[in-house]
């Protein structure tokens, strides 16, 4: 799977670890930055990752920050993106299962690295249920 990844400075360390985790699982990862812990404005990095998912260049995307809130908001501004803010395994599972989340946002300051990796794993493995939810998502994407 082609996966976009991006972060601001507050999510940089987890971004790097998640990128290695994804590569070890055999995924192709497209890193949109940032490339250090030096302070940056998150939309500069999050928007191109979200646009890659919306265009189909990447199948899914992961964005990170301190809390993940701003990153989720920035990603969800792009038509066709359904970015779920995930702070635990259940939110990741439900984001895929019920909402067909094609992106997730994680907060490095909100969880351990082990939790972040578990969230990513669950999100990748959980299928979308489809059915009654798909029509609502199609309407939102217009």
For the chain, what are the domain ranges? 2-140
Q: Read out DSSP for 100-141?
A: --SEEEEEGGGS-HHHHHHHHHHHHHPPP--THHHHHHHHHT
Q: Which residues are catalytic?
A: 71, 98
pLDDT for 98:
95
pLDDT for 142:
57
pLDDT for 136:
55
Q: Quick one: tokens of 121?
A: 């794993």
Is there a contact between 91 and 126 (Cβ–Cβ < 8 Å)? no
pLDDT for 132:
57
In order along its 142 residues, the chain shows pLDDT tens digits of 999 999 999 999 999 999 999 999 999 999 999 999 999 999 999 999 999 999 999 999 999 999 999 999 999 999 999 999 999 999 999 999 999 999 999 999 999 999 999 999 999 999 999 865 555 556 666 5
Q: Which long-range contacts (CB under 8 A, 24 or more apart) does 133-138 make?
A: 133/98, 133/99, 133/100, 134/100, 137/82, 137/99, 137/100
Which CATH code fits 2-140? 3.40.1400.10
């Amino acid at each position: 799977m082609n996966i976009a990844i991006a972060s601001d400075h507050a999510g940089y360390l987890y971004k790097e670890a998640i990128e290695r985790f994804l590569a070890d699982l055999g995924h192709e990862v497209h890193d949109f930055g940032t490339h250090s812990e030096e302070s940056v404005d998150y939309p500069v990095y999050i928007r191109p990752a979200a646009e890659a998912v919306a265009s189909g260049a990447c199948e899914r995307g992961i964005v990170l920050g301190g809390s993940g809130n701003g990153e989720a908001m920035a990603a969800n501004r792009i038509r066709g993106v359904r970015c779920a803010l995930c702070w635990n395994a259940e939110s990741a599972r439900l984001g895929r299962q019920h909402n067909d989340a094609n992106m997730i946002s994680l907060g490095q300051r909100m969880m351990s690295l082990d939790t972040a990796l578990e969230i990513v794993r669950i999100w990748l493995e959980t299928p979308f249920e489809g059915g009654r939810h798909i029509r609502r998502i199609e309407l939102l994407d217009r």
